[in-house]
Structure 1
């Protein structure tokens, strides 16, 4: 039996927590799910008593959109004084603390034995490439092929070229173990094209869809499409779901 390298917990939308061998990472916390919704289960992984006992906690926020950044995450420092926050430079916080690091596209940072590089986005902010405990992890933030039906052909063409340029730059980081990538139902029939292109070019070992709000069913459709590409994509069913890598 292969050794478990990471336990990944789906929080909500684009929010995930990852427990690696020696670290606890949280990406793009927005909010916790609506209680009593049948698709959700209680989220123990972010309970104060759990955060308090975790070591090497790093909290990431890819940009300032309210569905990716919630200032309530700053309160976690009350439970664990050793937390480090890594924010996109477009995020504005009234106070500055030694535990906050702001980075922008192209910048690299090393925190003890954790390495972070900021890649670009096709919206605001950045995407994160993280290397830790022998794993390479990518969280796309709002990096996606945003093909909106109401856009002009010129706008659609520009969106495609900007997206593909970002993925081409990212391809130097292969192999990527775990990748989180948007599968947004608002794009209607184009919801999967960014994820599919990303999967073909990057070939992540585990692809985890995100940015779908309440519509968890879209992850099953996406996973079925990825099977045809020989990509291992996760079907998400509820908040708090544990994914083993």
Structure 2
């Protein structure tokens, strides 16, 4: 299993028999697209920093299938599945469950190839500064985030992709910290920070000692160093 950070909340996961691509809205290096293997695009919602219709323009390079949140207008007639929150589907050797978001769209939980993968999309503890966003209710935002995680409480978490958004100021770490405390995933990979890669180290410093691995990466389109299964 190899994990590549594309940009923002975009990630590409290479498994032995397929490639999974999450929330990609930027160019994917062709070197990451393996000929002869299926590629599955997961899109959590239609915001421009998670989705672009350009993902439908590369069909000649590989075998694509698209799993899109149902808030996205249908933009392709080829192997496209739309799905809403709290649904289940089996596809390509994957057991896919969807959950809600505290913004738009859905989050994904995928069991495949003996792995358990969670991608939060925009499911986040949106603890904005009320001076910046006076219409935000911080107490309700906390309740909404924790209530959504409660719906997943019996699911084992191995790899989790969770927002660590620097725009939230001093609250940037809250979603990731609570996720770790709740699920104790083997690996938590921060996302939703554009190119502010320094936020990863700040997050690690804030969290302190934990058995959960928080890998660091410092650029786009880079393979994340495998520290969870050395030698694999």
Give the TM-score normalised by the residue count of structure 1: 0.86
Whole-angstrom CA distance in 1 between matches of 2:149 and 2:117? 15
Q: Give the one of 100, 106, 109 matched to 1:120.
A: 100
Q: Deviation per CA, 1:162-192: give whole Å up to 9, x if none.
A: 1001111112111x11110000000000000
Q: Deviations over 1:115-165 (max 9, x none)?
A: 111111000100000111000000000000000112559711111101001
How many matched pairs?
224
Residue 53 of structure 1 aligns to a residue whose secondary structure is coil
Partner residue in 2 for 1:159: 141
Whether 1:64 and 2:59 are equivalent positions in the alignment is: no
Unaligned runs of 5+ in 1: 1-5, 33-45
Hey, what's the Cα distance between the residues in 1 that align with 2:114 and 2:191?
Answer: 24
Aligned-CA RMSD value: 1.7
Residue 217 of structure 1 corresponds to: 198
Contact 1:223 1:232 in 2 (8 A): no
1:219 is displaced (CA, Å) by 0.7
2:186 touches 2:211 (CA, 8 Å); kept in 1?
Answer: no
- Equivalent position of 2:81 in the other structure: 101
List alignment gaps of at least 5 residues for structure 2.
Answer: none
Q: Which has the higher contact order (CA 8 A, sep 6+)?
A: 1
Counterpart CA distance in 1 for 2:56 and 2:207 is: 36
CA shift for structure 1 position 48: 3.7
Compute the displacement of 1:224 (Å): 2.6
Report deviation, 1:79.
Answer: 1.6
| Displacement of 1:78 | 2.3
Q: Does the 8 Å CA contact 2:29/2:221 hold for their aligned counterparts?
A: no
Matching residue within 8, 13, 31 for 2:3: 8
* Counterpart position of 1:41: none
**Equivalent of 1:23 in 18, 33, 43:** 18
Report SS of the residue matched to 1:60: strand
2:33 is paired with a residue of what secondary structure? helix
Q: Which residue of 1 aligns with 2:223?
A: 242
Corresponding residue of 1:170: 152
Tell me, yes or no, if the aligned pair for 1:25 and 1:58 is still in contact at 8 Å: yes
- How far 1:22 sits from its partner (Å)? 1.7
Q: Which runs of 4+ in 1 moved over 6 A?
A: none
Deviation, 1:56, is 2.4
Provide closer, same or farther for how the CA distance between residues 226 and 54 of structure 1 changes in structure 2, counting only shifts above 3 A: farther
Q: Deviations over 1:178-233 (max 9, x none)?
A: 11000000000000001100111011100000000111100111123334233211
CA distance in 2, matches of 1:52, 1:133: 18
Residue 110 of structure 1 aligns to a residue whose secondary structure is strand
| Alpha-carbon distance in structure 1 between the residues aligned to 2:216 and 2:175 | 17
C-alpha contact 1:126 1:141 (8 A) present in aligned 2: yes
